[in-house]
Amino acid sequence: MSLKEEIHMNIVEDNRSRWLASPRVSDEDKATILSMDEESKNDAFFKDVELGTAGMRGKLGPGTNRMNLHTVGRVSVAFAMYVLSTDPNARQKGIVIAHDNRYFSREFAELSAKIFNEMGFKAYLFDALRPTPELSFAVRYLGAQGGVMITASHNPKEYNGYKVYDETGCQLIPSKAEEMLRCASSLPDELSFEVPAFEKKGETIILSSKVDDEYCALVKTCQRNPDLDKKGFKVVYTPQHGASYENAMRVFEDCGYEIIPVESQCNHDPAFGGTKSPNPEVAVAWEKVFETMKENHADLGVMTDPDGDRCGVAYLSSKGTYERFTGNESAALLIDYLLDDMQKKGELPEDAVIYDTIVTSSLGRIVAASYGVKSESFLTGFKFIGDRIAHYEKLGKGPTFVFGYEESYGCLVKPFVRDKDGLQAILLYTEMALYYHRLGIPLDVAFDRLQQKHGYHLALTKDAYFEGMEGASKMKAMMEGLRVSPLTEIAGIKVEKTSDYLAQETIDASGKKETILGLPKSDVMKYFLEDGSTVCVRPSGTEPKVKFYIEAVSEQKEGLLKLVEKLDQGIRSAAMK
């Protein structure tokens, strides 16, 4: 056994013994710990569940590296301490709490409210599950000083998470998250911390349906052409057992659409029993949608993920088959639809801007530029888009936001929400599809015409998983290797320049360096190849995996998929050697 392995094993045994000896740990949890096999024991205790800029997310169960009442309780205290540091009136302004359909989501939400109350905070708690974008809206609507969303988004059923929001309804950006992390580091471990009681306890206010009413009313204002003839246009919808079902059905029906829900995926089942995956990015998540579309001869299929911030789009193609768009493809087509409609109606602001991320396809930016609209790219994470909107709002001047998106099925149409909003997105995607349907143009034909005009782009995300105790160190070593040995080619294609977002510099093939301005440091490498393709490498902030974002660009459609696969093999070979 190496010294590193010995240290890891000592950490595991120390943490495990501490949990087994603690009176705070239930007999049931102790029995679970004692029954763990070696692999489960190591994974549950080799570190603390990670608290980062995206909040906290992990598998459920007893252990330091798990989501449970102890780890959630500790982060709730830390978040309340952080919120109090941002405003002396934070206790009166309060914190809003929402949750999705997952195991222990309600328990974690109620525990958070109880802790906030003990610390003197008013807590606003929804009476049942609600989607993430409504939580973001509610923070702003109620004038609260912060928000908490209990969710693991699209992760498998074994996971849960704890997202934290500031007073603007935006997830904490790194500078704010660092303050919260400092608060957390001042606390004892998850079995030793105490809730600092305030002299006057706060109260928990159960939110009424008025918040739903206001949120849904604003979503409906996102429509560009609400009077399009909807007769005979059939849309299949699934919430993937999640929190968007009630709001989505209400908005669709109010807007006059004929909606066919995937019945087996509409109950709020924490086991996700009616789907093979709740993630819109995964092909098997669409099996029931396609079945329902075929059975009902539907024109469109839309999906929101369990916490309702992401969406996906499927459609009846010109070949009579049912296909689905990637997030990059659907967003590029929607950008064209929105900007074209604004321009025709004389409503396109001269200072319009679209926000995306550094791993998003370039097609959307090219489409926007064709309308004279500028684009600005941020690090991965919608919080950076929400924060930039808030920045200009506070400044009282700046470009006019017209759309924000990222490649992983996240869109924002109107900024009354400061996170991606799956309901806004599926409403506008449905309207766009209806618009083309009335013109007799299938969506694949519409998208092909867009690419004929602006060039063919194929952008796909590939994953490499690094599970368990050694996973984090392997990912770190991989990224360090890419920096120590700079790549000059990928799959035989020359690298023209490399952007290192951790070093915050871009280096071209001649060695010339340029500083990357306006973005915080991040462990991301992006390669720009001589044929116009790009490859980006980024460790996930919420899952034990590295993501490879690959975009092939050409004037011809043929050969793009083969090029993406070639680049994927090339970067994997170079990164994992």
Burial 293-314 (b: 16+ CB within 10 A, else e): beeeebbbbbbbbbbbbbbbbb
For domain 457-575, give the CATH superfamily: Alpha-D-phosphohexomutase, C-terminal domain (3.30.310.50)
Q: What is the mean pLDDT of residues 136-146?
A: 98
**What's the whole-model pTM score?**
0.94
**Residue 224 CB: number of other CB atoms within 10 A?**
17
Q: What is the pLDDT of residues 400-426, one digit of tens each?
A: 999 999 999 999 999 999 999 999 999
Domain(s) of CATH 3.30.310.50: residues in the chain: 457-575
Q: Which of 370-374, 400-404, 558-562 has the lowest mean pLDDT?
A: 558-562
Q: If we measure between CA atoms, which residue out of 420, 534, 538 comes closest to residue 475?
A: 538
CA gap 74, 68 in Å, rounded: 10
Q: What is the pLDDT of residues 332-369, one digit of tens each?
A: 999 999 999 999 999 999 999 999 999 999 999 999 99
pLDDT of residue 470: 74
Residues 6+ apart with CB under 8 A from 217: none
Q: What is the mean pLDDT of residues 53-61?
A: 89
Q: What is the pLDDT of residues 121-138, one digit of tens each?
A: 999 999 999 999 999 999
Residues 6+ apart with CB under 8 A from 320: none
Question: At 507, is the pLDDT very low, low, confident or very high (cuts 50, 70, 90)?
Answer: very high
pLDDT of residue 529: 97
pLDDT of residue 465: 86
Which pair of structure tokens corresponds to residue 205?
């206010």
pLDDT of residue 474: 87
Question: At 466, is the pLDDT very low, low, confident or very high (cuts 50, 70, 90)?
Answer: confident
Residues 6+ apart with CB under 8 A from 555: 455, 456
pLDDT of residue 107: 98
Catalytic residue among 105, 153, 375, 377: 153
Domain(s) of CATH 3.40.120.10: residues in the chain: 47-208, 215-454
Q: What is the mean pLDDT of residues 236-253?
A: 98
Q: What is the mean pLDDT of residues 242-271?
A: 98
**Residue 321 CB: number of other CB atoms within 10 A?**
11
Identify whether the C-beta of residue 129 lies closer than 8 Å to the C-beta of residue 99.
yes
Report whether pLDDT(560) > 70.
yes
**Residue 284 CB: number of other CB atoms within 10 A?**
10
The answer to whether 153 is a known catalytic residue is yes
Q: What is the mean pLDDT of residues 110-121?
A: 98
Per CATH, domain 215-454 is 1.20.120.530: no
pLDDT of residue 304: 98
Fold type of domain 47-208: Alpha-D-Glucose-1,6-Bisphosphate; Chain A, domain 3 (3.40.120)
